[in-house]
Copies of this chain bind each other. A is one copy, B any other.
Amino acid sequence: MIKVIILGAGNVAFHLTTNLLKNIEVKLVQVYNRDITKIQYLKNQTSITNNLTDLKEADIYIISIPDNAISNFSSKLELKNKLVVHTSGCTAMNELQSNSNKGVFYLVQSFSKERKVDFSKIPICIEAETDKDFKLLKKLAKSISNNNYSINSKQRESLHIAAVFVNNFVNHLYYIGNQICEENKISFEILKPLILETANKITSLDPINAQTGPAMRNDTKTIEKHTTKLTVNQQEIYTLLTKSITKTYGKKL
């Protein structure tokens, strides 16, 4: 049994806690959070604390708090010869300031408290300073999901940027699509099957081969017609992405 302590109660920490409580290869020894009211619901299932000096013994301490708080928070931990990891996509392993062994346990998924997550398919990117710690993290990763990857801090930073494009920015384009529908009294429901198919397609086709639409076809008549119908902000985005697509496919607008 791998003994784990989770520090934090945000979306990632919440789902990871739920998973590890049911994980037969893991003993979730304790959950820490600064605001104890957020972890009160766990008091019958594991030890809870809001006091760093009360931390119990464990094999892995998982810090799952806002990215910009990791460095400072980790400097307060006194966990010599223990493995302390964070779950951040955009924080280098060496930003951990504890005098303990360092590692990273990055779950590549977008978590919301309201949505259940199928952990068995979540890619887990791990990094550690030593082989021994790497193996321990790999064991933990395997107990959670079938997909695990060795990703160093430099790669993880790029991976996180790529995730911003395919997750945050994509969702913003959904928002703009929704906005255009609302402005024209069209049900956004009409676009949902298209949104799902667009995502599903890339499981069998490379994005470069899945591209369709007026920009790809260099259909300047349609492109011009479209841009006149948009708000300034929508138009800027339409024009820049159209330019990028035509550039990608070697056509000139």
- Contact residues, A170-198 vs B (CB, 8 A): 170-178, 180-181, 183-187, 189-198
A169 to B233, Cβ gap below 8 A? Answer: no
Given contacts A187-B149, A190-B159, A229-B161, contact A208 B178 (CB under 8 A): yes
Q: Please, how many angstroms separate the alpha-carbon atoms of A157 and B166 in the complex?
A: 26
Task: Confirm or deny: A67 has a beta carbon within 8 angstroms of a beta carbon on chain B.
Answer: yes
Is A252 positioned at the interface, with any CB of B under 8 Å from its CB? Answer: no
Task: State the Cβ distance, A201 to closest chain B Cβ, in Å.
Answer: 7
Q: Does A37 contact B (CB under 8 A)?
A: no
Taken together as a complex, chains A and B put the C-alpha atoms of A154 and B167 apart, in Å, by 31
Q: Output the residue of A166, A197, A206, A214 with the most chain B CB within 10 A.
A: A166
Q: How many residues of A are counted as interface, with CB atoms below 8 angstroms from the partner's CB atoms?
A: 92
What separation, in Å, do the CA atoms of A114 and B50 have in the docked complex? 55
A34 at the interface (CB under 8 A from B): no
Q: How far is the CA of A87 from the CA of B97 in the complex (A)?
A: 61
Q: Is the CB of B207 within 8 A of A174?
A: yes
Contacts of A202 in B (CB 8 A): 171, 174, 192, 195
Number of identical protomers: 2
Which residue of chain B has its CB nearest to the CB of A166?
B177
**CA A81 – CA B9 in complex, angstroms?**
68
User: Contacts A183-B158, A236-B240, A247-B233: A197 and B110 contacting too (C-beta < 8 A)?
Assistant: yes
Please measure, in the bound complex, the distance between the C-alpha atom of A238 and the C-alpha atom of B164, giving whole angstroms: 9
Tell whether A94 is near chain B: CB-to-CB under 8 Å. Answer: no
Instruction: Decide if A253 is an interface residue (CB 8 Å cutoff).
Output: no
Q: Kindly supply a per-residue 1/0 record for chain A positions 22-59, scoring 1 wherever the CB is within 8 Å of any chain B CB and 0 otherwise.
A: 00000000000000000000000000000000000000
0/1 interface trace, chain A 52-91, chain B, CB 8 Å (1 if under)? 0000000000000001100000000000000000000010
Contacts A171-B211, A172-B248 given; does A177 touch B193 at CB 8 Å: no
For the A-B complex with A164-B213, A170-B199, A174-B210 known, give 13 more contacts whose Cβ atoms are closer than 8 Å.
A108-B190, A112-B201, A112-B205, A112-B212, A115-B205, A149-B187, A155-B184, A158-B186, A159-B184, A161-B226, A166-B194, A178-B208, A192-B203
Enumerate chain A interface residues (CB-CB to B < 8 A).
67-68, 90, 108-110, 112, 114-115, 117, 121-123, 125, 147, 149, 151, 154-155, 157-178, 180-181, 183-187, 189-208, 210-216, 219, 221-222, 225-226, 229-230, 233, 236-238, 240-241, 244-245, 247-248
